[in-house]
Amino acid sequence: MLDYSKNNLNWLTDLLQDLPEGIYDRPSVYLSQASIGQHLRHIAEMYQGLIRGYDSGIIEYDKRSRDRRIETDRAFAEATLSEIITNLDKADKNLLVIYDLEGREVKLQSNYHRELMYNMEHAIHHMALIKVAVLELTDIILPKEFGVAPTTLQYRAQCVQ
């Protein structure tokens, strides 16, 4: 799970380096005018929320910073991903996750490994959306695993046999 998360984040880093100028923050018609940068920012800030809350044991994903630099500045986004990758490897421990649902605070018991899995699955979902924008706006060929869940890859491999 840790390795898969890091691998996904490394693929995003590689994509940042490969994107032509002006594409990272360009709106995608197929993503309701969202950009690759906006989706990458969302992935990064969810991981940051997990890392930031680890020591206190309280995770509040809703209180992310929504830092536009991540969605508009590729170098800043790359540095952000690098920092996340460096800080992901942590011991499992119990966590309290707090959500704001329509003005009502909901508290859930969780743990670091469960939240790491959540972030990995969440990232995969947004990477699938990023792939749509990459196909729309560039001629970059992404790895076939980019934006695909590990269980889906395993299922596809079984179907081939």
Per residue in 8-33, pLDDT (tens digit) is: 999 999 999 999 999 999 999 999 99
DSSP 78-128: HHHHHHHHHH------EEEEEEEETTEEEEEEEEHHHHHHHHHHHHHHHHH
| Residue range 104-130, pLDDT digits in tens | 999 999 999 999 999 999 999 999 999
d(CA 72, CA 35): 9
**Which residue ranges make up each domain of the chain?**
2-160
Q: What is the pLDDT of residue 156?
A: 67
pLDDT at residue 161 tops 80? no
pLDDT at residue 49 tops 80? yes
Distances (CA, A) of 60 to 88, 101, 114: 17, 12, 15
Q: What is the pLDDT of residue 11?
A: 95
Determine the 3-state secondary structure of 10 from DSSP: helix
Determine the 3-state secondary structure of 149 from DSSP: coil
Tell which CATH classification among 1.25.40, 2.30.30, 1.20.120, 1.20.1440 matches the domain 2-160: 1.20.120
| Residue range 137-147, pLDDT digits in tens | 999 999 989 99
